[in-house]
């Protein structure tokens, strides 16, 4: 996009932003298995990939994500504690939680 129009598109811009197929909130993330319910068009149309982000809006539905499912199988009681840490950091920092931060949270509770 930048090459053609000579400007940078905001990452969160609807329809064309690079994060259009990223979901954070619990309700929307719970429908991740049925993309047509939450996406304006298929990610395949633009060769994009889908992602679940962790942050202040993450809810129990996020526990079905591959990261949280992996933890739940090994330590079922840790899921809630990790989710609380994710929400706290996301709220305090006003941003999404990085993969490295998430791994540190998991390691801390392991």
pLDDT in tens, 35-52: 777 777 888 888 888 877
What pLDDT shows up at residue 95? 92
Quote the CA–CA distance of 58 and 96 in Å, as a whole number: 10
pLDDT above 80: residue 57: yes
pLDDT above 80: residue 55: yes
pTM, full prediction: 0.63
pLDDT above 90 coverage of the chain, percent: 9
| pLDDT (mean) for 39-67 | 76
Mean pLDDT across the chain: 75
pLDDT above 80: residue 105: yes
Q: 109 φ, ψ to 5°?
A: -90, -10
Task: Domain ranges for the chain, please list them.
Answer: 2-109
Are 12 and 55 spatial neighbours (Cβ–Cβ below 8 Å)?
Answer: no
Q: Given pLDDT bands bounded at 50, 70 and 90, which one contains residue 1?
A: very low
| pLDDT (mean) for 15-22 | 75
What pLDDT shows up at residue 7? 72
Are 98 and 91 spatial neighbours (Cβ–Cβ below 8 Å)?
Answer: no
Angle at 46 between CA 12 and CA 56, to 5 degrees: 30
């Amino acid at each position: 996009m930048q090459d053609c129009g000579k400007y940078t598109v905001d990452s969160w811009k609807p329809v064309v932003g690079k994060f259009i197929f990223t979901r954070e909130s619990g309700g929307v993330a719970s429908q991740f298995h049925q993309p047509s319910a939450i996406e304006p068009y298929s990610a395949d149309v633009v060769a994009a990939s889908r992602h679940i982000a962790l942050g202040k809006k993450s809810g129990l539905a996020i526990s079905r994500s591959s990261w949280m499912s992996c933890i739940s199988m090994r330590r079922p009681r840790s899921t809630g504690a990790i989710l609380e840490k994710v929400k706290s950091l996301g709220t305090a920092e006003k941003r999404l939680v990085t993969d490295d931060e998430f791994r540190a949270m998991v390691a801390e509770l392991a």
